[in-house]
Each structure stands twice: as structure tokens, then as C-alpha cells.
Amino acid sequence: MDPIRIAVVGVGKIARDQHLPAIAGNSAFSLAATVSPHDPGVEGVPHARSLEELIERGPAVDAVALCTPPQVRYDLAVQALRKGMHVFLEKPPGATLGEVGALSSRADKVGATLFAAWHSRFAAGVAPARAWLAERRIDSVSIVWREDVRVWHPGQAWIWEPGGLGVFDPGINALSIATHILPRQMFLQSATLEIPANRAAPIGADIQFRDTAGAPIHMDLDWRQTGPQSWDIIVETDAGTLKLSNGGAVLTLPSGVEHNEDLEYPGLYARFATLIRGGRSDVDVAPFRLVADAFLRGHRKIVEEFHD
């Protein structure tokens, strides 16, 4: 079977650190091209300054991985789907729920695969955590996602603009795990969003969710953390405490720490290949919907200005 010819659109840090190595390590794909108006691309691989240029001049591709900021992703995905290309959407899958829904409908009509890729769901501890929680009573959940934005997103102005999500850019990773491992649906009750006076998106958030059985779920997001970083989900159950730490990479159960190989982006591309070969899409917007609800219902608290 011939490999899937894929183009990476947007050649920034996440593309170079994660997407390109994952593609290179998966025989189901071949890197056919890169696209960026700013980055020169990869030596020996055809490069275009825009997706339109790639479509017009070639080389031919079967799929695209959109690694651009979410605010510009819809139009790029539409261009690709018009040509019958399969589309991999980096997280978050778009700037609004409406545009993601429109893309899903378009992909169905043209018979192409659309994949909303939640990389944190492929962290080593997530699948076994989901399996362990399936038979438990959930009493409460604590999500603490605190990191230093200056370390992880230096100089990225788009992330502070409408549609960039602010602290929910990493926070949505936690929600992608929580919505995957918890056995019952969760929904928002209240939220406080801390927004710097000179920015449009929050730098911190305190959120109260609950699940459909009434279990409280508290989420603490902050982009001002210095020193050790915190990416933890703690679930209290009738059988003891489950903890996912380091962004889902480390699972601790009452029986001890479980060790599994952490292959987030290789797992994503294996899933994308399976979807393409099977003629299916995977567009789960549950984490994105919770973020939208926080912006819809959250109280906005203006805090001091933030400067990189």
C-alpha cells in the first residue's frame, strides 16, 4: 500500500518538535511538502509559501496537517477539503465551534477524513486511567494546570487574541484528558477568568464543573507559574485516588505507579492513518465546548498587564 502523501502547513515549533518526527517515524506517511510564508521548510522537501501555491503548483498530496494558529485554520481546511484532501487539525481544532461543525459536514460530503487531534489523550497514562475509572464511583476531581507562558509560548501574540484561547490553550489539553477518562459527561457550573488589562484572552482561570452524577470537578489554570510546572489531574474514587501527572505521562494508582511508553504524536499519526484507511473521521469537540462555555458563562476579572 502506497504511503499517504502529507503536507505540513505551518512550520513552527510544534511542527518541528512533534509533527515532522512523528511523520518520519510512521511508514504509513511520506512528507510530500511543507507550507509556510515565513519558514524555509525542510531541506530536500518541496516547500510552498501558501496552501494555494501548493495546490496550484504541486506536488500532489493526499493529506494536510494544519499546524497554524486556530484563527486561520478554517479557510485552509476548506481549501484542502475542496481538493478531497484529508485534514489533521492541531488542537484546538478551530477558532469557534461553528466552524469546526461546518468542516465536519464538508468532510462528510466529500468523503475525506477530518481529525480533531487531542495529543494529550495519547499520553502514556491516559488509556490505563480510563480503563481503571470505568468501574469506579467518582467522588471528586481536581485539575491543576499551571505553567510559565514565557517558557512555553514566548512572543506568540496570536495566543492572546480572540480565538487564541490564552491559558485555555494548555488548559484544553487537561480537558481533553478529563472528558476522555471520566465515565460520565461533565459540564460547567461557574468560572472566573483573569484577563490582563492589555490582552484579550485570560492568563488564569478558576472553574467549577460537575459530572451528571453530581461529582464536583475543580480546575485551576494559571500561566504565571515559575519554577516547577504543574499538569496534574487527581480523581478521588470509591477505590482510592488516581493521579495523572506530567500532562498524563505518569499514572499513579492505589497499587503504585504505572510505567508506559509515552508516544503522543506517534499515536496521533497512527490514529490518523487508521481513520484515512477506514474512510472515517474523528471530530470530538467535547473539550472545546467546555472552553466555549467558560467564555460564555465566566466572570471576567481584569488583572495587571502582561508583557513578554
**Joined grid coordinates for residue 302:** 481584569
Whether 91 sits among the annotated catalytic residues: the reply is yes
Query: Hey, what's the torsion of the CAs at 56, 60, 65, 71, to 10 degrees?
Result: 10
Catalytic residue among 13, 83, 91, 109: 91
**Joined grid coordinates for residue 99:** 466552524
State the Cα angle at 232 between 282 and 163, rounded to 5°.
Answer: 50
Q: Which residues of 238-262 are buried (b: 16+ CB within 10 A; e: fewer)?
A: eeeebbbbebbbbbbbeeeeeeeeb
Contact 129, 268 (CB under 8 A): no
Which residues belong to the active site? 91
